[in-house]
Chain A
Amino acid sequence: MREQTSFRVFRWLVLIPLGLFTVMPLYVMVTSALKPLRDVQGAFEWWPSNLTISPFVDIWSTVPLAQYFVNSLIVTTAATVFSVLIAVFASYALSRYTFRGGRLFSGVVLSTQMFPGVLFLLPLFLVFVNIDKSLGFTAVYQTRLGLIITYLTFTLPFSIWMLTSYFNGIPRDLDESARVDGASAIGALIRIVLPSARPGVIAVAVYAFMTAWGEILFASQLTDSASRTLSIGLQSYATETNVYWNQVMAAALVVSAPIVAGFLLLQRYLVAGLTAGAVK
């Protein structure tokens, strides 16, 4: 199809500035992580004059980054696995059965997604403090378990929502014929529906992992020095006298790399899963 010249001009007027806007901070992140400390304290250098990889070594000793990493990994993985597991059954029910309360449930799930996190943070904080007080020991307040519970407040509704729309896209005939052949509901779900929904399940899991990995609000109040996650721990590179900007950038790069790599690898599934609900 022929395109008007003005459109071709428009195309480059859009793509070049947006490309620069997107790349600029990423460039700063990568190059600054390769500079010694004194080079990130003076005026910004476009190209590192003294290349070094020492920030990538130092980040582990300046702050207990490995511990933050482990905490993030445990909390995020637990929240992801738990919400996907529960969402698989719930979404199957919502997608394949009409039952009283089903619409109400979907409504509640959808509406909780739009409420601000702080609305849940205050009561959860209060409840956690008082649970621990009545138990006599710290079980949920500022522990990894507590953080996992709060992370379910956003991973679960999202997983149910996305998986339901994914299951809706899988022809009912598939599992119904299995049911006719004598499979139970669970059997049909596990042997027929889940294998065909594998891309959807992967997309949901990756997305849940991504959001939990980057969560800040809950982690800022519901973790202590032992349970601190990366999102809050990264701020410890700034002391009162000094900010180790090269290490901040190196650490940001290290904690982002697995997420970005996962996203790019599974991009096709993720994009399909994320947009499925909105386009239909």
Chain B
Amino acid sequence: MSVTLPQRPARQLRLGRSQRKAPVPAPRKWLTWRRWTPYLLILPAIVLELLIHVIPMVVGIWMSFVELTQFFIANWGEAPFAGLGNYRVALDFSGALGEQLLRSFGLTLGFTLLVVGISFAFGMSAALALQRFGRGRGLLRTLFLVPYALPAYAGIVTWKFVLQRDNGLLNELLTALHITGEPTFWLIGNNAFVSLVIVSVWQQWPFAFLMTMAGMQVIPEDVYEASAIDGAGTWQQIRYITLGMMRPMNATLLLLLFLWTFREFNTPFVLFGATPPESANLMTMHIYNSSFITWNFGLGSAMSVLLMLFLILVAGLWALWNRKVNRDA
């Protein structure tokens, strides 16, 4: 596509000019190059978006309405129509599958709120602490960003080693500090949830740090100077100037963190393998397992669609709230 594009403008431009010379006015404007340029530029992206996003999404929604079990995966034309059957199974909270989904949803919500809250607090505090820090600022900033640059599996697999019961660093540390006597299992039972939160925070907070730091840099220095002349202390400046002026950006950041954390897959998958302990069975993991272990793609798709609808709902409510706040302000 990149080969044919550069040749076109010349030809089309000539066409445009010859029309302008024509004795009859009223050139046929819809034929001009200028009008079609953006469409030609964006055409490859549209074709690709259709192929990788729009069509799979339509297929995914179709899948959620058919009985797509293992017999039909390589033979999808013959899968019987299931109507709302898959949704009925997923949302029947008294049945086993529905109950699992509900529990996984609650777990994911708790996990997300914790990880987003802690990551945001960490990121904001670090950004505040490094503001006007002077020497060593660049070094610390770089250090804090390393977990973000690290490929997800490299960071998580290292944590998996840290969290090992017999040869991990965490238990060694806890025994050395006399916090616990017996070595603890960190990757099974309810402790798995704690581990999941810690590892996710370790990966997520640098992003919050990066964003809040960038947000602080756009606040003009003279606002602080003016407030200092008026007698404001550091904490007052942080509360009324820094946090006040960053509110719109923070609102966006929190939404992004929420949407990303809610669909977290890497951390449970690398920490626990394909079958995580129940306390770490996040939504995406749950859908993944229902699809690829039992090979029920219909049910898996129905749950994916429900997850998507929930995320749309969250984003929509956020947008409404955000508009109201901005109008009141």
Residues of A within 8 A of B (CB): 1-4, 6-7, 10-12, 14-15, 18-19, 21-26, 28-29, 32, 40-44, 46, 85-87, 89-90, 92-94, 96-97, 99, 102, 105, 108-109, 111-112, 114-127, 129-130, 133, 149-150, 152-153, 156-157, 160, 184-187, 210, 213-214, 216-217, 220-221, 230-231, 234-235, 245, 248-249, 252-253, 255-256, 259-260, 263-264, 267, 271, 274-275, 278-279
Bound-state CA distance A22–B146 (Å) is: 8
Q: How far is the CB of A84 from chain B (nearest CB, A)?
A: 12
Chain B nearest CB, measured from A248 CB (Å): 6
Name the B residues within 8 Å of A220 (CB-CB): 269
> Could you list 8 examples of A-B contacts with CB < 8 Å?
A11-B129, A15-B140, A25-B147, A102-B38, A105-B46, A114-B311, A118-B284, A230-B153
Give me the 4 closest cross-chain CB pairs, A-B, nearest first. Answer: A275-B214, A90-B45, A214-B151, A263-B149
Judged by a CB distance under 8 angstroms, whether B117 is at the interface is no
The CA-CA distance from A2 to B228 in the complex, in Å, is: 9
Does residue B265 face the partner (Cβ distance < 8 Å to A)? yes
Knowing that A43-B172, A126-B68, A160-B45 are A-B contacts, what are 20 other residue pairs whose CB atoms are under 8 Å apart, sorted by A's residue number?
A1-B228, A15-B126, A15-B140, A19-B143, A22-B147, A25-B147, A93-B38, A97-B41, A112-B49, A122-B291, A124-B56, A129-B74, A184-B13, A185-B41, A186-B5, A214-B153, A234-B157, A235-B157, A248-B161, A275-B210
CB of B168 within 8 Å of the partner chain: yes
Q: How large is the interface on B (under 10, 10 to 19, 20 to 34, 35 or more residues)?
A: 35 or more
The answer, yes or no, to whether B321 is at the interface (CB within 8 Å) is no
- Return chain B residues, CB-CB under 8 Å to A90: 41-42, 44-46
B44 near A123 with CB under 8 A, answer no
State the CA gap A150–B53 with chains docked (Å). Answer: 10
In the complex, the answer to whether A278 meets B253 with C-beta atoms within 8 Å is yes
* Interface contact tally, CB-CB below 8 A: 296
In the complex, the answer to whether A42 meets B149 with C-beta atoms within 8 Å is no
User: CB distance A256 to B52 under 8 Å?
Assistant: no
A residues in contact with B68, CB < 8 Å: 126
Determine which of A24, A92, A102, A156 lies in contact with B52 in the assembled complex, contact meaning CB atoms within 8 Å.
Answer: A156
When distances are taken between beta carbons in the complex, the residues of chain A under 8 Å from B39 are 93, 99
- Bits for B110-149, please: 1 = Cβ < 8 Å to A, else 0: 0000000000001001101110110000001011111101
Q: B82 at interface (Cβ–Cβ under 8 A)? A: no
A96 to B307, CA, bound (A): 36
In the assembled complex, how far is the CB of residue A25 from the closest CB belonging to chain B, in whole angstroms? Answer: 5
Binding site for A on B (CB under 8 A): 2, 5-6, 9-10, 13, 35, 37-39, 41-42, 44-46, 48-49, 51-57, 59-60, 63, 68, 73-76, 122, 125-126, 128-130, 132-133, 140, 142-147, 149-155, 157-159, 161-162, 164, 166-169, 171-172, 202, 206, 210-211, 214-215, 218, 224-225, 228, 233-235, 238, 249, 252-253, 256, 259, 262-263, 265-266, 269-270, 283-284, 287-288, 291-292, 297, 300-301, 304-305, 307-308, 311-312, 315
Cβ distance B294 to chain A, nearest Cβ, rounded Å: 13
A22-B202, A123-B59 known; A217 vs B265 contact (CB < 8 Å): yes
Residue contact A126 to B259, C-beta cutoff 8 Å: no
Q: Which of A184, A216, A221 contacts B292 (CB 8 A)?
A: A221
* Contact B9–A10 (Cβ < 8 Å): no
Interchain nearest-CB distance for B151 vs A (Å): 4
Q: Which residue of A has the minimal Cβ distance to B169?
A: A44
If A22-B147, A259-B149 touch, whether A41 touches B167 (CB-CB below 8 Å) is yes
Q: Does A93 contact B41, Cβ atoms closer than 8 Å?
A: yes
Q: How far apart sit A214 and B155, CA to CA, in the bound complex (Å)?
A: 10
The chain A residue with its CB closest to the CB of B121 is A14
- Which of B10, B48, B172 has the largest count of A CB atoms less than 10 A from its CB? B48
Inside 8 A of B233's CB, which chain A residues have their CB?
A: 4
Collect the chain B residues with CB atoms within 8 Å of residue A264's CB: 142, 146, 149
